[in-house]
Structure 1
Amino acid sequence: MDLRWVPALDRMDLLAEPVARAVRELKEEVRVAEIDAELADTAAFCDRYGVAMDASANCVVVAGRRGGEVRYAACMVLATTRADVNGVIRRHLDARKISFASMDDAVSLTGMEYGGITPLGLPEGWPILVDSRVAAHPEVVIGSGVRRSKLALPGAALAGLKTAEVLDLAN
C-alpha cells in the first residue's frame, strides 16, 4: 500500500471530528492519506511508507502542575528529536512538575485516538508549542486524530495556529 495524498476536505471520513472541524477553518491546504492503523506509530509508519523521520512530526501532550492546578499543552517536535519536557517546556509553562499526559487523559480530553493525536482540533486554549525545526519545515506529516490516516501540511501552518508558539523545544 502506497500513500495516496488527497485534500483532507475531500476525505473528512479519515479525520477525528475535532480535527475535521479545525481543517475546515484552516486557510492552508491540508492533505490526508489513509494508512494501515497498525503502522500509525512513527517509526513503523516511516519505515513502511518511505517517509523520512525528519519529515514526520510528533504531537506530545504534557500535563503541567503548579499549586494543585493541572494545565495541558501539546508539543510538536520532529521525529528525529526529543522534546525537552523537564527543561524548556516545564519552564515555559511555568509548571512546578510536568509529565506526559496519561493515555486516558489525552484521549478523553482531545477526542482523538492515542497514536493519532494532533495539534489540529485540540481543546480551546491549550498552548501548542511548536519546535522551530517543525515550523521551518516545508511540509510535515502528522497525526489526523485517528490511527488510520496521516496529514501533511506546511510547518508554518502549525506555527500559525491560534494558540501556537514557536520555541526551541528539543534538547
Structure 2
Amino acid sequence: MTPLRTLGTLSTTPALERTDLLAPPVAAALAADARAGGVAVAPIDPELADTAAFCAAYQVSPAASANCVVVAGKRAGEQRWGAAVILATTRADVNGVVRRRLDVRKVSFAAMADAVSLTGMEYGGITPIGLPAGWPVLIDAAVAAAGPVVIGSGIRGSKIVLDAALLVELTGAEVIEGLAGPV
C-alpha cells in the first residue's frame, strides 16, 4: 500500500483499506461516501492522541490539525447536540457563535460519557465523520480553507488525513466565519 496523503511523519494508507484503524461509525460513514478515496489513515501511539503531544511527536503543525468538540445545550426542555470543528491554533466561541447556532440559552462541552456513548467514538478521537444523523457540524472557515488536515479517526490509536474541503461536504456541515478565534 502506498501512502495516499501525509503530514509530518505520519505514514498513511487509504482509510477504507484499514478500517481497523477507524471507529465503527467512522468506517460506516466512509464506506457509504464516494469521496472516501481521498481519505487516509495513519496509526499513532494512543498515548500521543491529544493534540499538543500528537503534533510534537509526529511533526504536524497545529495549523494543520483540526479538533472536533461535541457540544450540548437545552431549549424548552429539548436537549440539542452538535459538533464544532476548529484548528488546534484556535478556540471555539462556544458561548457566542455556537450557542446562537444551536439556539439554546446555555451551551457547554458535552460530558465525556455522553460524547462517547452518543458518537460511538473514543474520547480524544472524536471526529466529524460518522456523527449521529441530525447533528449540526459547525466548521470554522479557517478549517475549510486549511487544505490537508489531520483529524480524529474515532479512536485514539490513529488519525485521519484529508483535504479539509471534504469536511464541508459532510451531512449537516455548515462553514461559519468566526466560529473560532486565536488561543
**TM-score bucket (shorter structure):** over 0.9
RMSD (Å), alpha carbons: 0.8
**Secondary structure of residue in 2 paired with 1:82:** strand
> Paired residue for 2:113?
104
- 1:25 is displaced (CA, Å) by 2.3
> Paired residue for 1:94?
103
- Aligned identity (percent) is 64
**Secondary structure of residue in 2 paired with 1:106:** helix
What pairs up with 1:1-150 in 2 under 5 angstroms? Answer: 2-26=9-33, 27-28=35-36, 29-150=38-159
Matched, 1:170 2:180: yes
Q: Distance in 2 between matches of 1:98 and 1:25?
A: 31
**Secondary structure of residue in 2 paired with 1:71:** strand
Q: Match for 1:170: what amino acid?
A: A
- 1:54 is displaced (CA, Å) by 0.4
Aligned residues: 170
- 1:138 is displaced (CA, Å) by 1.1
- 1:3 is displaced (CA, Å) by 1.9
Q: Distance in 2 between matches of 1:142 and 1:12?
A: 15
Q: Distance in 2 between matches of 1:108 and 1:22?
A: 17
Q: Match for 1:10: what amino acid?
A: E
Using structure 2 for the length normalisation, give the TM-score.
Answer: 0.91
- Which consecutive unaligned segments of at least 5 residues does structure 1 have? none
Q: Distance in 2 between matches of 1:52 and 1:14?
A: 22
**Secondary structure of residue in 1 paired with 2:90:** coil
Q: Distance in 1 between matches of 2:11 and 2:135?
A: 31
- 1:58 is displaced (CA, Å) by 0.2
Using structure 1 for the length normalisation, give the TM-score.
Answer: 0.97
Q: Deviations over 1:70-102 (max 9, x none)?
A: 110010000000000000110111111100000
